[in-house]
Amino acid sequence: MKVFKASKSLVSHLSSQSRPLGFVPTMGALHDGHLSLINKALEQNHSVLVSIFINPTQFDNQTDLENYPTHFEADLQKIEKINGNISVYLPKAFDVYGQNIQSKSFDLGGLDLIMEGEKRSGHFQGVATVVSYFLNTFQPEKAYFGEKDFQQLRIVNHITQSQKLKTKIVSCPIVREKDGLAMSSRNALLTETERKFAPKLYESLCYAKKNAKHIQYGQLKDRINDFFKKYDLLTLDYFRITNAATLKEIDLEKPVSKGRAFIAAHLGKIRLIDNMDMS
């Protein structure tokens, strides 16, 4: 495994690697969800690049950024264990941004202004800035993103289309704990008690899927709201079912025939998100 702190030396290294190149961007604190992306990239490519970079511009909250878990040594060991030939990009912010740690401004077709974008101002401009930098700099044939961050996946697809990038975006299913909780680096920050309540997000998505075709969407939304009111520790941020491609909310008066349900909730100081296909 070769670890690069500077994109310049990495680009020169990549020019000697056999193609296709599969790229897996992460913010580290790697878990089995991340590893599933890396394994898929290994299956589909001759070379694989993993980045570990906690991108400051996608955090709208300084405390969230400061508390974001970092386990770089353990991350490198996990990658090495999967495959010793993977290249790793582990930069400081200066290597990505220079002196000016700021997002660029992208037209993301409004996909950045709803749900996570509405709750986390500027988040997707930060994501778009770093993803666009990575794809333009490393020019991978394929890049792997998890459905765990479904809105991000849609936005990355939008960027590659609008910028006419040659990279194919590969979406990967959500990896869950045994009790249904979607794996996330932030789960490690939950207290023991909070952790017990964390699968409620998954439970409510399953409830939605089971009932969606039988009741009006608006009624379903009310039921999910009521469900969360029962738990003092949990505060629902939003529950929404949208068209999976446009992310536009479906008609409140109709039962759900297909679409994607999205949920975000606060559990103590931690904010969790999840989503599920409703068809």
Rounded to a whole number of angstroms, the minimum distance from the CB of residue 207 to ligand AMP is 20
**CA–CA separation, 109 vs 159, rounded Å?**
10
Q: Considering the rule CB under 6 A, would residue 272 count as an interface residue with ligand AMP?
A: no
Cβ closest to ligand AMP, residue 54 vs residue 233 = 54
Rounded to a whole number of angstroms, the minimum distance from the CB of residue 204 to ligand AMP is 17
**92-151 positions binding ligand AMP, by CB under 6 A:** 145-146, 148-149
Residue nearest to ligand AMP (CB): 146
Q: Tell me the CA end-to-end span of the chain in Å, nearest whole number.
A: 41
Considering only residues 7, 103, 185, 187, which one is a binding residue for ligand AMP as defined by CB under 6 A? 185
Cβ closest to ligand AMP, residue 145 vs residue 217 = 145
Q: Considering the rule CB under 6 A, would residue 40 count as an interface residue with ligand AMP?
A: no
Q: Considering the rule CB under 6 A, would residue 26 count as an interface residue with ligand AMP?
A: yes
Of 101-109, 174-182, 209-217, 233-241, the window that binds ligand AMP (rule: CB under 6 A) is 174-182
Considering only residues 182, 201, 212, 256, which one is a binding residue for ligand AMP as defined by CB under 6 A? 182
Among 34, 158, 214, 266, the one annotated catalytic: 34
**CA–CA separation, 218 vs 141, rounded Å?**
42
CA of 27: how far to CAs of 45, 53, 55, 96, 130, in Å? 22, 5, 7, 14, 11
Based on the residue annotation, tell me whether 34 is a catalytic residue of this protein.
yes
Of 8-16, 183-191, 197-205, 212-220, the window that binds ligand AMP (rule: CB under 6 A) is 183-191
Of 26-34, 72-80, 104-112, 197-205, the window that binds ligand AMP (rule: CB under 6 A) is 26-34
Give the count of residues interacting with ligand AMP (CB under 6 A): 17
Sign, CA dihedral 55-8-15-75, equals negative
Residues annotated as catalytic are 34
Residues of this chain that interact with ligand AMP (CB under 6 A) are: 26-27, 33-34, 36-37, 145-146, 148-149, 172, 174-175, 182-185
